[in-house]
Amino acid sequence: MNGLPPGSVIGILGGGQLGRMTALAAYPLGYQVHIFSPEEGPATQVTPLRTLAQYEDEDALARFADSVHAVTYEFENVPSATAEFLAARVPVRPGPNALAICQHRVREKQFLNDAGVGTTRWGAALSAADVARWVSEFGAPCVLKTSRFGYDGKGQTIVRSVDDAARAWTVVSHGRDGVECIVEAFVDFSMEASVVVARGVRGDVASFDLVENIHRDHILNRTIAPARVTEDVAAQADAIAHTVINALDYVGVLGIEMFVGRDGRVLVNELAPRPHNSGHWTQNGCVTSQFEQTVRAVMGLPLGSPRRLADAEMFNLIGDDVLRVPELLTDPNNHVHLYGKAEWRPGRKMGHVNRLRF
C-alpha cells in the first residue's frame, strides 16, 4: 500500500487547534482537509471544507463520510458511536476500539495493566462509599476523577482522607450516585513526562523523545525536550510506548502521559488518541512534526523520522500570555504558533511558543 494519493481528503472530527495544526501539516503533502464540528473554531479557519453538525447527526455524518477518504480525531471526546458509524463507511484511524479505551479512564487503566504496563493503583467508583473504601485501601491522599471527559484539571479533585470522600464525590459527581469515576493512588514522582508515538498502517512505529512536562494550575505550562532523565528511564518510556500502541492495534499518533517515579520506574497516567500538547515542540524541533506524522499515518504514507534537530522548550500561551507575542518575537530562537481564537480569557490556550536551544 502506497498511501492515499495527493488530492485525497482527510476528515477531522473536531474543530480545535489540534485540528488546525493537523490541517496545516496536510497541505504540503497535497491533501485537502474537511472538518466536522458542532461549531466554527480554529480548524475551520484554515479550510473551506467543513460540516457544522452535532456528532449524533447521522445524515450529516453520512455526507461527511462520502466526501473524505480517511478520518481521524483532534480530541478524544467524540462519541464512540460516531466513530463506529463512520468506520462502517470510510477508514477511521485510530479505530473506534482504541477511541473507546482512551476516552474512559477505567477501561484505559484495565487495558494498560492487561498489557503489562504499570500504572498507579486504582479502583472504579460509583458512589462516595466506593471512594472511601479505595482511600482506606490505598492511603490518603488519592485523586478522584470522572471516568469520562475532564481535562486540564477539570472533573477531578484530591481526596485528603476517608472522611473527605463525601465532599470529593459531591464535587466530581455533583452528588449523583452511579456516575462512573476512578480513584487513583498518589504517585511519588520526580517528574511528569510524556511520549508521542506513531504507528502506520503497516505496523511501523516511530516515537519522539521522552519529554518533561511542568504544569501550572493543572494546565500544561512548559515542555522540555528531551526530558532530563537517565538513559534507562528514556528507554523504559520508549519501550512502554511501543507496547501500548501495538497492543491497541493503533494507526495514528498517540500521546502517552507518564510519571517518572523517584525510584526510576515509569508509570503510565493517561492516553490521548490524537496529537498531544506536549508534542508541539516537534513542529520546529524535529525532522517530522507530530502533525505531519498524524497525516502520514492516517493517510497510509510511510512514517517520517522523529529525530530531534535541536533541544527545545515549548510553553503555552494561556490567557493574557498572548499579549507577550511582540516581545517573544524579538528572540530569533522563538517560534510562535497562535490558534486564531478571537479573545483571550483566563485558562484558555491561545497558542504556544517553541524555543530551540542549539
The whole-model pTM stands at 0.96
Distance CA 63, CA 95 (A): 20
pLDDT, tens digit, 9 for 90 and up, residues 262-310? 999 999 999 999 999 999 999 999 999 999 999 999 999 999 999 999 9
pLDDT value, residue 3:
94
pLDDT value, residue 151:
63
- Three-point CA angle 330, 45, 37, nearest 5°: 130
Q: Are both 230 and 341 inside the same structural domain?
A: yes
Q: Are both 70 and 50 inside the same structural domain?
A: yes
- By the 10 Å C-beta count (0-12 exposed, 13-18 middle, 19+ buried), 94 is classed as buried
Q: Are both 156 and 48 inside the same structural domain?
A: no
Which CATH number does the domain housing residue 166 bear? Answer: 3.30.1490.20
Q: Which domain holds residue 16?
A: 9-102
Q: Are both 227 and 342 inside the same structural domain?
A: yes
Residue 82 lies in a domain: yes
Q: Are both 33 and 68 inside the same structural domain?
A: yes
**Interval 239-245 mean pLDDT:** 98
Q: Are both 138 and 18 inside the same structural domain?
A: no
3-state secondary structure of 49: strand
Q: Are both 129 and 92 inside the same structural domain?
A: no
The count of structural domains within the chain is: 3
Question: Quick one: cell of 1?
Answer: 500500500
Q: Are both 297 and 353 inside the same structural domain?
A: yes
Place of cell 504558533: 337
Residue 255 lies in a domain: yes
Residue 299 lies in a domain: yes
Q: Are both 201 and 348 inside the same structural domain?
A: yes
Confidence of residue 155 (pLDDT cuts 50, 70, 90): confident
DSSP secondary structure letters along 217-234? TTEEEEEEES-S--HHHH
Q: Are both 250 and 329 inside the same structural domain?
A: yes
Q: How far is CA 166 from the centre of its chain?
A: 31
Residue 87 lies in a domain: yes
Q: Are both 203 and 343 inside the same structural domain?
A: yes
pLDDT value, residue 153:
56
pLDDT value, residue 218:
85
